[in-house]
Amino acid sequence: MEVVDVSYMLASASDAFGLIVQPGRMVFLVIGVLVGLAIGLLPGIGGLTGFALLVPFTYTMDPYAAFAMLLGMHAVTSTSDTIPAVLFGVPGTSASQATVLDGLPMTKKGEAGRALSAGFTASLIGGLIGALVLAVSIPVVRPFVLAIGTPELLALTVFGIAMVASLSGNAPLRGIVAASFGILVGMIGTDAQTGQLRWTGDVLYLWDGVPMLPVLLGIFALPELCDLAIQRSSLTSKMKFKATAGMLQGVRDVFKNWWLVIRCSALGTVLGAIPGITGSVIDWIAYGHALRSEKGAKETFSTGDVRGVIAPESANNSKEGGSLVPTIAFGVPGSAGQAILLGALMIHGFVPGPQMLSTDLSLTYSLVWSIALANIFGAGLCFALSGQFAKISTLRYTLVLPGIMALVYVGAFQGSRNWGDMFVLLIFGVLAWTMKRLKWPRPPLILGLVLGALMERYMGISILRYDWSWLLRPGVIVLLALAAIAIMRPMFHEVRHAGIRSLVPSGAPSFRAPDLLYFAFIALGVGMLLAAQEWPFGARIGPTVVCVVLIVAATISYVHAAFSDRHPEAVAQKSSHRGIHMDLDSGEDGPGRATVLLRAALFFGWFLAFLASMAVIGLIPTVPLIVIAFMRVEGREPWRLCLGYAAGVTAMIYIIFDRIIHIPWPDTLVGTLVPVLHQLVPSM
């Protein structure tokens, strides 16, 4: 590839800046930013919906204005998604999952303003670093990206899962079990290589696989909302910082941890340039990196450490610059959003590759400026409003839960726009709440779901192209070695603190009710393993390996817990070092166990009531009905407040999802009976 002259690069960058800051184009950039911020606030919509909304308007627009609007939207979605993640524990997009772990505890401690401003500032700096890296690397990145083959991508996915699975406290094998279960869920559906239907039964909904969106909201949103309903209080009863003071404190936190911001931003940019590595993976890798590398992080992360907000927020915004590198350099989109952007480029007559790095370099640098300016404007707007957003955390739960629950239900329906989405949300919500209460880590599960399909695809291609020699490639060896170290490190840590005898079962085994989760995972693994043996070799090899790993890991972990973890010496030894638990803690200072179970059943009962009403009268009419019922039954809220609140939530959902996005809602009992009645009435 021809090397671009430095003076020509600078001149093109200067020209691009002059073109972008023209008022007519800046207006479209601002429109894109506002759309992106709104999308990040609402769980379940995501950047793809934003592209779907804006791309049709760009076909007849000036190219610079068109891509400024598209990238303005895309660049800031990961900025405003911090708000629901920090305030409610509900990820606005899949790229804000890790932010929940420390952002929500900070809110509960009265530091919502501090967490929000730290997240926005880290997002701003991360986005600018990503844009800078994109600008500098465009001319020279092509050879490096081309050197990454499917074997390296496979090894990278293994490393990503291993690193997060190992961050599972004093029981690291639980992380491996959760990750294996997530991979198996990701394998449900039609196998791409053989066409074999795997674990679908007679359910047509499962043929295309389990959608990630309802799983994501079920794993991270419903348990936090359920715990809020159990506590029956506001998220915080105190504000440790005033709104303004908390915002300034968050900014100071970011600059105090400037080296962490730079490291995680660079990590996000590099990982973003690798096709297939999405924001839902990058934020966990950045969080895990900070947990391992920051002083004292093992004791404070997931309890409200501001560094746990800064790390993923830096990475998930910087990835946008990195993801443009393969798209521009040689037309390989790293994600579905980048594929849409690639199509828009080609519609406007631009061909990714050498032409974008030579004759069309001004347009290329206009993309860089669009990302940078969008981050500045978006972060500035969020920062200005963060103090007001923080006040939401002081509202009583009957004013917070109904609206958030409605948005989660409607958002989950965007998975495949099928009734099955709601059942998947419920199933994984109950499972995730149980895992959280029993201190099983949830992050490995969602990471396994995201990377499982990629891992199987990369393995099939690697074996087909290289047989087993792909294991000898230098990059693969390094990454697999790092994965092995990540998995084994917790075991070495335990041996160092408790001695080699801690790994050997001793004493008499004991059984507790929470052990049923072990047996459930083992039974599920055995059942799925037996079912897989009837499939062709290409369809069963991956599931067989993962099922065996799940069964072995769960069995060893249970045996170790049953024989060792519950005896006084083991408990005392473990209490001397907290270890790592990369998940939120439900807390032990709430109501008793019987009350917890009763209130949890009542919370999920409201969900079943929503489903029943939705089946009869439809989703949108159900929203005001359930909102009013919840507010009256749970909190005895005044009728005027209930009616106004329900009307506002319903109007927002109707305008956004029905009138703008045009969601095809499922059939209802009333909708089915009306045509029948119309036929019967004339004949009577």
pLDDT tens digits, residue range 12-38?
778 888 888 888 888 888 888 888 887
Q: Of 278, 297, 277, whose CA–CA distance to 288 is shortest?
A: 297
- Triad 310, 311, 316: Cα angle to 5°: 100
Question: For residues 638-667, b (16+ Cβ closer than 10 Å) or e, as one string?
Answer: eeeebeebbeebbebbeebbeeeeebeebe
Report the distance separating Cα 52 and Cα 217, nearest Å: 22
Q: Where are the alpha helices (DSSP H) in 138-171?
A: 142-146, 150-165
Enclosing domain of residue 432: 20-232+256-575
| Residue 524, CA atoms < 13 Å, CB-side half-sphere | 18
Does 586 have pLDDT greater than 70? no
**Which of the listed residues 543, 575, 607 is the one where a domain comes to its end?**
575
pLDDT for 42 = 65
Q: Has residue 239 been placed in a domain? A: no
Same domain for 453 and 507: yes
pLDDT of 347 > 80? The answer is no
Amino acid at residue number 252: R
Q: Are residues 422 and 461 in the same domain?
A: yes
State mean pLDDT over 189-204: 87
Q: Given 525, 548, 575, which residue is the final one in a domain?
A: 575
Q: Which of 109, 33, 114 is nearest to 68 (CA)?
A: 33
Shared domain check, 566 and 470: yes
pLDDT at residue 528 above 90?
Answer: yes
Give per-residue pLDDT as tens, 602-621.
999 999 999 999 889 888 89
579 has a pLDDT exceeding 60: no
What pLDDT was estimated at residue 268? 87
pLDDT on residue 354: 64
Last residue of a domain, one of 519, 544, 575: 575
Give the number of C-alpha atoms closer than 13 A to the C-alpha of residue 590, restricted to the C-beta side.
19
Q: Is residue 241 part of a domain?
A: no
> What local confidence, expressed as pLDDT, does residue 199 receive?
92
**Is 581's pLDDT higher than 60?**
no
Better-scored residue on pLDDT, 374 or 678: 374
For the segment 78-87, the average pLDDT, to the nearest whole number, is: 80
**Is 15 within a domain?**
no
Q: Which pLDDT does position 548 carry in this prediction? A: 95
550 and 676: one domain?
A: no
Average pLDDT, the chain: 79
Does residue 585 lie in a domain region?
Answer: no
pTM of the model: 0.76
- Tell me if 246 is assigned to some domain: no
> Are 426 and 543 within one domain?
yes
pLDDT digits (tens, 9 = 90+) for 264-313: 988 888 888 776 566 667 888 888 888 888 888 778 888 888 999 999 98
Alpha-carbon gap, residue 228 to 393, rounded angstroms: 11
> Based on the domain organization, do 525 and 673 belong to the same domain?
no
Task: Convert the pLDDT of each residue in 400-429 to its tens digit.
Answer: 788 888 888 887 887 788 888 999 999 999
If asked whether residues 134 and 39 sit together in one domain, one would say yes
Q: 519 with 657, same domain?
A: no
State mean pLDDT over 636-641: 90
Q: What are phi and psi of 189, to 5 degrees?
A: 125, -160
Q: What is the mean pLDDT of residues 633-650?
A: 91
Per the domain annotation, does 14 fall within a domain?
A: no
- pLDDT of the residue at 245: 64
Q: Are residues 606 and 570 in the same domain?
A: no
Number of domains in the chain: 2
The model's pLDDT over 430-469, given as tens digits with 9 standing for 90+, comes to 999 999 888 888 878 877 887 777 787 788 788 888 888 8
Question: What confidence score (pLDDT) does residue 179 get?
Answer: 87
- Do 571 and 629 lie in one domain? The reply is no
**523 lies in the same domain as 610:** no
Q: Taking a C-beta distance cutoff of 8 angstroms, is the pair 561, 171 a contact?
A: yes
DSSP label of 198: E
Going by pLDDT thresholds of 50, 70 and 90, the confidence category of residue 578 is very low
Q: Are 610 and 541 in a shared domain?
A: no
* 586 domain-assigned: no
End-to-end CA distance of the chain: 80
Does residue 251 lie in a domain region? Answer: no
- Determine the average pLDDT of the residues in 531-552: 90
83/389 Cα distance (integer angstroms): 8
Number of helices and strands (H, E) in the chain?
30, 2
Ranges 34-38, 343-347, 545-549: which has the least confidence: 343-347
Task: Give me the pLDDT at residue 45, please.
Answer: 58
